[in-house]
Amino acid sequence: MEPLARSAGILLHPTSLPGLYGIGELGAEAHEFVRFLRDSGQKLWQILPLSPTGGDGSPYSSYSAFAGNPLLISTERLIDDGLVEKDVSRVPPGPVDYPAVISSKAKLLREAYGRAKPGKDFREFREEHRGWLEDYALYMALKGKNGGRPWTRWGGEISGREPGALKKARRELEEEVGFHEFVQHLFFEHWGDVKKAANEAEVEIIGDIPIFVSHDSADVWANQDLFFLDEKREPSVVAGVPPDYFSETGQLWGNPLYDWGRMREDGYAWWVARMRMALTLYDAVRVDHFRGFEAYWEIPADAETAKEGRWVKGPGDEVFQAFEKALGKLPIIAEDLGEITPEVEDLRDRLGLPGMKVLQFAFSGPDNGFLPHDYRDANWVVYTGTHDNDTTAGWWNSASPAERNFARRYLGRGFVSVWDFITLAHASVAARAVVPMQDLLELGAEHRMNTPGTTEGNWAWRLEETALTPELAERLRRLTETYGR
């Protein structure tokens, strides 16, 4: 991998953009944010997965690792293109109400499909993405027909993908399959325009690949032989992490685990296709839970807690060699947080991948590897916090007296502000510095994006319409220029 250029950027998922229709979309608000990035001297826009989400809004729990999120399709563009009526009801600014937005956007997209006259562009899109789109669109059509139930409860023939049953379903659900293909075409068109604008502004999009996928997804339904499933097609073993400082019982995620041996037989073709798609959507990719490629925590599916799991060796270098063989050198960032062993570090370093440094983890004492003086080289991406952290203001307010005192000594200041940590990230030797939008605005804990281990109130935060001021852009530009980013 080529050495990273020294640069800076902002972490903000598109759902958090302001706008008139209940959720951030890929319309004027996204293009306005690109202009803010340009005006503030930022070269990076880091986002979360763009995958379709359920009612909880989690981009890490999706119906597809390949498809785009229909909720992000621009209502404004649908109106401008004459696909929906102009009098679309507007939603007061505020956090995302996912069930309400899912309902309202579905009605708009149905109306758009009824008015659309798909032409050459749509046919070319469908052909280009046939490898995943056919299965995804049929999966979504079948899921709708079956009242939203998981694919294991659709009946033996269709759950087992018997050719006759699939052929019959495609024929009977042709119109519904066409709808889901049309929606994906809209998403890729709208996102493509946003990415093009970002790249023209010399802004690089950093995306995110969760290592695991949901059991109730087109991915598992269409590729059952690539996962450890039992005779009922349910996971026989599931993913998670062992007990640690934060949890006495560990975390039981429940995702099905890959049969890496089976994947090896075809050169990790599914993973190569997934990475190829990611590089269609993004300029660089953060690989979530990178340590799972070295070794992963395997938990029996009937276990009550993650304590009953065990470490199992992952594919290591092999899958990354498959990426390189098919796609060339890749711009990958290793999410190497959590319980990291020397073996994981060796894998990251052999591959030449930059890891992550999070300043909120740094202030336990002078021997903490997250402190900037200990980075040793530039092959890192430093963050004040991530989407899973509290905001820096919230973290500071709840930090222990020892952490606060050490941070004051480290920074050489009696009074410490959020911008001191932003400055520290920019001043570090790390090639890339990324700051969540909430930290640039010095927002408190009530504005955090996600609290791991909880299911309520996450993924809903949104930027206020007036937040992206010229004064903020100028302040950030000065800081970025001062530290050569």
* Residues with a known catalytic role: 288, 335, 388
Q: Decide if 169 contacts 248 (C-beta within 8 A).
A: no
Q: Give the CA-trace dihedral at 225, 229, 235, 241, to 10 degrees.
A: -70
- 356/338 Cα distance (integer angstroms): 11
263 φ, ψ to 5°? -65, -35
Q: Give the CA-trace dihedral at 381, 387, 390, 392, to 10 degrees.
A: 40
Side chain identity, residue 188: F
449 φ, ψ to 5°? -85, -40
- 432/125 Cα distance (integer angstroms): 34
- 13/460 Cα distance (integer angstroms): 10
What count of residues does the chain have? 485
Beta bridge partners of residue 9, listed in sequence order: 44, 434
- 390/376 Cα distance (integer angstroms): 27
Burial class (CB in 10 A: 0-12, 13-18, 19+), 79: middle
Q: Decide if 208 contacts 286 (C-beta within 8 A).
A: yes
- 364/268 Cα distance (integer angstroms): 41
Residue with tokens 């280009």: 128
Neighbours of 246 (CB within 10 A): 11
- 225/231 Cα distance (integer angstroms): 12
- 458/144 Cα distance (integer angstroms): 25
Neighbours of 196 (CB within 10 A): 11
Q: Decide if 336 contacts 369 (C-beta within 8 A).
A: no
Q: Decide if 122 contacts 185 (C-beta within 8 A).
A: yes
Cα–Cα distances in angstroms (integers) from residue 308 to residues 243, 341, 453, in the given order = 10, 20, 18
Burial class (CB in 10 A: 0-12, 13-18, 19+), 484: exposed
Neighbours of 362 (CB within 10 A): 21
Cα–Cα distances in angstroms (integers) from residue 21 to residues 27, 72, 158, 186, 468, in the given order = 11, 10, 37, 17, 19
Secondary structure E strands in 15-66? 44-46
Beta bridge partners of residue 70, listed in sequence order: none
